[in-house]
Amino acid sequence: MKQVFSLGFLLLVFLSCDKNTVKPAIVEMQIADHQQDCMGVSPQKCLLVKINNDTSWQLFYGNIEGFAYEAGFEYKLLVKREKIDNPPADSSDLRYSLVKLVEKNRQ
């Protein structure tokens, strides 16, 4: 009986230790008015983004489902970010999809 209890306890501990899960969240994303050269699998153009209250621009290699970027405009978006189970090895494990276009300003 003691072994069954110990085994059950260990199983519960292992199942509760998954800290790498990303729960779906709505994030605010600011998109710069131009793209920058970057290197993914091959040379490409990346969006420059600030997520939530970031103060510096970051390269964004992926895409945002439902969003069509136009150069010369700066955007503020609300975006749903969610974890992808078993993503391809050469892509992100996060999916971004447009919830709302908050602002679009010509620069």
Of 40, 41, 62, the C-alpha closest to 51 is 62
Domains of the chain by residue range: 20-106
What pLDDT is recorded for position 17? 52
Pick the more confident residue, 79 or 93: 79
Mean pLDDT score across all residues of the chain: 84
What pLDDT is recorded for position 21? 60
What SS3 class is residue 62? Answer: coil
pTM for the model stands at: 0.72
pLDDT level of residue 1 (50, 70, 90 thresholds): low
